[in-house]
Structures are given as C-alpha cells and as structure tokens.
Amino acid sequence: MATVLITGGTRLIGSRLTGLLIEKGYRVIVLTRNEKKQNEDDTSNPSYAIWNPAEAVIDTKAVQQSDYIINLAGAGIADKRWTAKRKIEIAESRIKSAQLIVNALKENANKVKAVINASAMGWYGDDSRLQRQHKSFTEDMTAAPGFMGQTCKAWEESIEPVTAIGKRLVKIRTGLVLSMKGGALKSFARPVGFGIATILGNGKQMQSWIHIDDICRMYIHAIENEEMNGAYNAAAPKPVDNKTLVIELAQKMKGSFYITAYVPHFILKWMLGEMSTELVKSITLNDDKIRATGFQFIFPSVEAALNDLA
C-alpha cells in the first residue's frame, strides 16, 4: 500500500481527495498545523503529522514514510479582500510551503517517487484575444503579468528544484472547482437559494471549470501515470460563460422560480477591490494535454456536473 503525503488536506479539494485515495487503498498522511489532530498511533488512515511552513517546521518521519507528495497548501485566494498584506500572505503561503517540501526532500533520505503540486488557471491572463482567434490557453504559454500570474509563476518555480533531486514533478493548473461544499459554486448558490441568479459583470466571461471529483481523480491519475511530467490544465472539455453557469445552476435548484440580476464590475470592484478583476476575467483552458495521458472526465459538461451536485 503506497503512502501519499498531502498538504492542504483539510480544505475543499484535499478532504475529498483524501477520501478517494483511501477508497483506492492508499495510506494517507495529512500535514496539518493543528497539533490537536496529530496522531499518537500513525497506523490510522488518514493519519496526521505536524508542519508549519511559516516557521520551516515539518515532520521528517512523515516525509520519509511517503511514496508520493501532493502539495495543495496555500491561503485561500477569495477568503479575504486583497490588501497588500493579504497578497503577501497568499504568495508566501504557497512559496514557503513548496520550499519546505524541497528542503525536506533534499535533507532527508526518502523514497518519494513524485511530487504533484497545485497551481491555478490564474497563471493565464484574459483570453479575449485568443477567443477571436478561436484558440485557448495551452500549458506552454508564459505567465501573465499581474498579481495572480506572477504568484502562480513563483509558486511553480519554488517547487521546481525537486526535479534536480530526481523526483517526477506534475503541476496542476486548476480551473474553477465545482462543489456545493465550498468555493465559487457555493457562493453562486447562496443567492439562488433566495430565487436570484446573480450574474457577474456582463456574464460573457468564459469560466473553465472542473467537478470536484474530476480534479481529485486527476491528482490520483498523476500519481499512477508515470509518464506525466510538467504542467497540466485541469478543466473540463466544455467551458461555459458565467451567465450560462449561473442560469444552469438556478434551473437545477429552482426550476423556473428565479430572477436574474447582473452585478456590474464597478460594484464588484467597490465590494472586493482588486480581486474583482479575477471574477470578470475570461479564461478558456485547453485540456488536450491531460486527455492525451488517457484521463477521462466523468463530468465533461456543466449540465452533467450540476445534475450531480445540485
């Protein structure tokens, strides 16, 4: 039974991924800053071990026991308003986590075969020009200027040194994760519960999305497919615009008993500040590279995804 070490294992993707890994027979160790969760008996599944990237603390025994590392750590992008302090926290939480993993692998004998590192579609800019050319973002494109693009670039660069010590590295640039337990879809569903389908901006911005189970399956696929290396876009084959996503959700939840309401960008900017630009940015991810590895989406369309979730 192979052992997978997960950071960020108690958040949206990590908690679901932990369950799926255990179902498949993997042993899972979750790194946590919560000392109350630390196991005295590490035979439990999952078990918990202590780490603290801000203080460069990591349980080296957990690293030495692991066959694979999945790094999902990082402060929530949309959890708080992007003040200057918060932007530093978002970037450093990702960079320091990756650097701590790199140093732990360099400084301790281990059997780790591969590191699967989270990244985000924020790597890319707005795709308005690409849409006019009937193209989409591929993994070989350079990081966009601006906070999100440069944060993703630094994030990926900080984990890259594991390749120099012989570890296979996969970087998953994740689209909008659909789950009713958290993330953007839960935020969209809240006003729909009151009969209001809230459309952001003009609603025409493309949103590359992925069902929570498909993103988790993709991480497992990256573990089990030894040919996978480098960056991969994680988004379903059929992106939709914001209006389509929200209306589809409203129809699933309320039938015809809802009204649509547009929230102009200037209102979003007043409420959320700089973060609002990410909500109205159009991003269409190309999924050819991940499908070429043999990965198959269970939920290729937003209709199928929302039928399952809503």
The string of pLDDT tens digits covering residues 256-296 is 999 999 999 999 999 999 999 888 999 999 999 999 999 99
pLDDT digits 0-9 by tens, 4-46: 999 999 899 999 999 999 999 999 999 998 776 766 556 788 9
Among candidate residues 27, 285, 277, 257, the one with its CA nearest the CA of residue 172: 285
Does residue 46 have a cis peptide bond before it, meaning omega lies within 30 degrees of 0?
yes
pLDDT at 42: 62
- Please give the pLDDT value at position 281: 92
Cα(48)–Cα(43) distance, rounded to whole angstroms? 10
Nearest by Cα to 219 from 71, 89, 55, 38? 71
pLDDT, averaged across the chain: 94
* Interatomic CA distance for residues 235 and 212, integer angstroms: 11
Q: What is the pLDDT of residue 310?
A: 81
Is the predicted pLDDT of residue 129 greater than 80, yes or no?
no
Beta strands in the chain (DSSP E): 3-7, 27-32, 47-52, 57-58, 68-71, 114-120, 168-174, 176-178, 196-200, 206-207, 209-211, 230-234, 240-241, 259-263
Query: What separation in angstroms does the CA of 33 have from each of 7, 10, 86, 141?
Result: 10, 11, 19, 35
> Tell me, what's the pLDDT at 44?
81
Contacts of residue 17, defined as CB under 8 A and 6 or more positions apart, other chains included, come to: 6, 9, 70, 72, 216, 219, 220
Structure-token match 């039928």, residue found = 307
Token pair of 108, please?
A: 């301790």
Cα 26 to chain center, whole Å?
21
Q: What mean pLDDT is predicted for residues 182-203?
A: 93
Question: CA 137, 138, 142: angle at the middle one, nearest 5?
Answer: 85
Local structure of 7: helix, strand or coil: strand
Model confidence at 132, pLDDT cuts 50, 70, 90, reads: low
CB distance 135 to 187 below 8 Å = no
- How much of the chain exceeds pLDDT 70, in percent? 96
Gap between the Cα atoms of 229 and 148, Å rounded: 23
CB atoms within 10 A of CB 271: 11
Quick one: average pLDDT of 41-67?
Answer: 91
Which one of 3.40.50.720, 3.60.15.10, 1.10.357.10, 3.40.640.10 gives the CATH number of domain 3-309? 3.40.50.720
pLDDT of the residue at 135: 82
Q: Give 178's strand partners.
A: 211
- How far is the C-alpha of 282 from the C-alpha of 115, rounded, in Å? 30
Section 122-128 average pLDDT: 90
Q: Does the pLDDT of residue 47 top 90, yes or no? A: yes
